[in-house]
């Protein structure tokens, strides 16, 4: 749900900042955006944890078969939804050269959201190397990938401060689908998967510290954006990175008996998250266009518009998944929704 | 109901997602792609709720989650110790 929420203010429902500025709807959307900034790193982290799980904590083997199965499980639904989206464009009369179609599929640019799949596939492909490094010396791995992550976020922070040009501009051009942009999170997941039981006792005592740090960096990130008048975010700053780390450490430092509210609902939803992620794009696009054409009076009512788009982005994929799952279409469920 | 039957039903209903009509108790859940990154978390959450037993982090290893049999053997051992 958080991944979908994360995207839901970046599509046709995104209203120009200058129109929204200083309105309650604007601050609400900004806060939502700031809160869910940890969602993509969290998914990448879980994937890294799973890669370590597949490799086995007590063995030095790495199963390429299982890894390729995982990649296949991501790739087939991704291709189906990407092609569906391309077909929608084709029906509308858009003409895209074949080379562009291929490059769109390769880097996940068929929609702004789909870059995640090529990104995670790259990370799974380099997982053996990262697992080897994490077994040899996990601290060095986290330091190196952490420094790379700083190079990814620092230019965004510098740009907010008005510092641009040279290396900053070059680093800002690194595409989001490239594994380097999230290498730290996947590596952190691997380290957790291999060494967490050793690390957990040290983290447990710091749960409140991490919770407070997350709150501090959440507010700091919000204020940072406000003071420096940032654009609606597509990249995260250093402050956002600290927030992401604090949130993750907060969750990791929860005791085994501590349960968060609605954990059952979130667990149930998490298993459907890849399907929601893939299907929410056309669901929101079509709903937004439908509102534009059939009920344009909704558009200035930002909260109502946002609510409808949110319900459509979550509800339509869940309904579609339920229909496929409970009918004769069930054998294709895995191909459609992962 | 036996532990293996409970696990078998849950995996078939919630994790297999129509990929297969049946699963054997010794089928490799990972090699067949039945358990993925979020599936493993879902399975742990189900075990914790259904059996009222917290799975320690150090026990979330491939050896315990490889198959329905491996998982039920692990759980039976842990539940016996608990009681």
- What pLDDT, in 10s, does the model give residues A62-102? 677 778 888 888 999 999 999 988 888 888 888 888 899 99
A47 in contact with B, Cβ within 8 Å: yes
Question: Which residues have C-beta within 8 Å of that of residue A247, sequence separation ≥ 6?
Answer: A38, A42, A210, A214
- Fill in the DSSP letter of residue B33: T
A300-309: pLDDT as tens digits: 888 888 889 9
CA distance A285 to A288: 5
Min distance B61 CA to chain A CA atoms (Å): 6
A292 C-beta neighbours (distance < 10 Å), count: 12
A326 in contact with B, Cβ within 8 Å: no
Q: Which of B10, B12, B18, B32 to mutate to test the interface with A (most CBs of A within 10 A)?
A: B18
Residue scoring higher pLDDT (B60 or A21): B60
Question: Mean pLDDT: which of A26-35, A107-116, B21-30 is highest?
Answer: A107-116
B26-46: pLDDT as tens digits: 888 887 778 888 888 888 888
Q: Which of B11, B12, B15, B17 to mutate to test the interface with A (most CBs of A within 10 A)?
A: B17
A31-63: pLDDT as tens digits: 888 898 998 999 999 999 999 988 887 666 667
Q: Is B34 helix (H, G, I), strand (E, B) or coil?
A: coil
A301 C-beta neighbours (distance < 10 Å), count: 12
Interface touch B14/A50, C-beta < 8 Å: no
What are the boundaries of each domain within chain B? 3-82
CA distance A41 to A46: 9
A266-277: pLDDT as tens digits: 777 777 888 999
Question: Which two structure tokens, joined as six digits, stand for A319?
Answer: 């309904």
Interface touch B38/A270, C-beta < 8 Å: yes
Min distance B81 CA to chain A CA atoms (Å): 18
A233 in contact with B, Cβ within 8 Å: no
Interface touch B33/A72, C-beta < 8 Å: yes
**Torsion angle in degrees (nearest 10) through CA of A178, A181, A184, A189:** -60
Interface touch A54/B31, C-beta < 8 Å: no
CA distance B83 to A192: 30
Interface touch B41/A331, C-beta < 8 Å: no
Residue scoring higher pLDDT (B83 or A223): A223
Q: Which residues of B touch A331 (CB under 8 A)?
A: 18-19
Number of Cβ pairs closer than 8 Å across A and B?
81
CA distance B27 to A77: 24
Of the pLDDT bands very low, low, confident and very high (cuts 50, 70, 90), residue A15 is low
Min distance A215 CA to chain B CA atoms (Å): 26
> B3-82 domain in CATH 1.10.1200.10?
yes
* Whole-prediction pTM: 0.86
Q: Is A332 helix (H, G, I), strand (E, B) or coil?
A: helix
Choose among A50, A56, A274: nearest Cβ to B61. A56
Question: Which two structure tokens, joined as six digits, stand for B11?
Answer: 């995996």
Given a cut of 50, is residue A7 above it in pLDDT?
no
Q: Which of B56, B69, B60, B58 is nearest to B29 (CA)?
A: B69
Please give the pLDDT value at position A1: 40
CB A245 within 8 A of CB A307: no
Average pLDDT score over residue span A281-310? 89
Half-sphere exposure of A254 (CA within 13 A, CB side): 13
Helix axes A273-294, A302-325, angle to 10 degrees: 130
CB B45 within 8 A of CB A264: yes
Rg value, chain A, Cα: 21
Please give the pLDDT value at position A3: 42
Given a cut of 60, is residue A9 above it in pLDDT?
no
Q: Is A295 helix (H, G, I), strand (E, B) or coil?
A: coil
Q: Which residues of B touch A46 (CB under 8 A)?
A: 37-38, 41
Q: Which of A51, A58, A45, A41 is nearest to A128 (CA)?
A: A51
Q: Which of B38, B56, B64 to mutate to test the interface with A (most CBs of A within 10 A)?
A: B38
Min distance A239 CA to chain B CA atoms (Å): 28
Interface touch A196/B31, C-beta < 8 Å: no
CB A58 within 8 A of CB B61: yes
Chain centroid offset of residue A63 CA = 26
CA distance A21 to A25: 9
Choose among A58, A65, A200: nearest Cβ to B31. A65
Of the pLDDT bands very low, low, confident and very high (cuts 50, 70, 90), residue A257 is low
Lowest mean pLDDT segment, chosen from A7-16, A63-72, A107-116, B16-25? A7-16
Choose among B18, B56, B62: nearest Cβ to A334. B18
The full length of chain A comes to 338
């Amino acid at each position: 749900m958080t991944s979908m929420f994360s995207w839901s203010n970046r599509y046709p429902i995104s209203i120009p900042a200058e129109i929204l500025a200083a309105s309650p709807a604007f601050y609400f959307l900004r806060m939502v955006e700031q809160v869910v900034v940890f969602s993509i790193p969290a998914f990448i982290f879980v994937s890294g944890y799973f890669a370590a799980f597949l490799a086995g904590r007590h063995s030095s083997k790495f199963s390429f078969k299982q890894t390729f199965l995982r990649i296949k499980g991501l790739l087939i639904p991704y291709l189906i939804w990407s092609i569906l989206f391309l077909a929608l464009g084709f029906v509308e009369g858009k003409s895209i050269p074949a080379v562009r179609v291929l490059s769109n599929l390769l880097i996940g640019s068929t929609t702004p959201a789909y870059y995640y799949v090529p990104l995670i596939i790259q990370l799974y492909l380099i997982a053996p190397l990262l697992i080897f490094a994490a077994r040899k010396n996990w601290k060095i791995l986290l330091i190196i990938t952490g420094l790379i992550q700083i190079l990814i976020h620092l230019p965004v922070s510098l740009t907010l401060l008005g510092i641009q040009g040279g290396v900053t501009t070059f680093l800002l051009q690194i595409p989001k689908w490239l594994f380097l942009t999230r290498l730290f999170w996947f590596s952190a997941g691997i380290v957790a998967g291999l060494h967490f039981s050793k690390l957990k006792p040290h983290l447990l005592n710091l749960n409140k510290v991490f919770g407070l740090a997350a709150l501090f960096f959440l507010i700091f990130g919000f204020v940072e954006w406000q003071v420096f008048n940032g654009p609606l975010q597509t990249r995260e700053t250093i402050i956002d990175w600290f927030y992401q780390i604090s949130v993750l450490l907060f969750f990791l430092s929860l005791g085994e008996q501590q349960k968060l509210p609605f954990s059952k609902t979130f667990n149930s939803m998490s298993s459907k998250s890849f399907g929601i992620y893939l299907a929410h794009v056309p669901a929101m696009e079509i709903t937004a266009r439908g509102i534009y054409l059939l009920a344009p009076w909704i558009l200035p009512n930002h909260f109502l518009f946002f609510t409808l788009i949110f319900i459509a982005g979550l509800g339509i994929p869940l309904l579609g998944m339920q229909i496929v799952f409970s009918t004769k279409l069930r054998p294709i469920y895995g191909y459609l929704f992962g | 109901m036996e532990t293996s039957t409970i696990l078998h039903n849950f995996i078939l209903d919630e994790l297999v997602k129509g990929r297969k009509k049946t699963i054997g108790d010794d089928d490799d859940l990972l090699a067949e792609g039945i358990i993925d990154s979020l599936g493993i978390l879902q399975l742990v959450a189900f075990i914790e709720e259904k059996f009222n037993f917290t799975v320690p982090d150090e026990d979330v290893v491939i050896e315990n989650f490889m198959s329905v049999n491996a998982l039920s053997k692990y759980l039976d051992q842990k539940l016996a110790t608990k009681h």
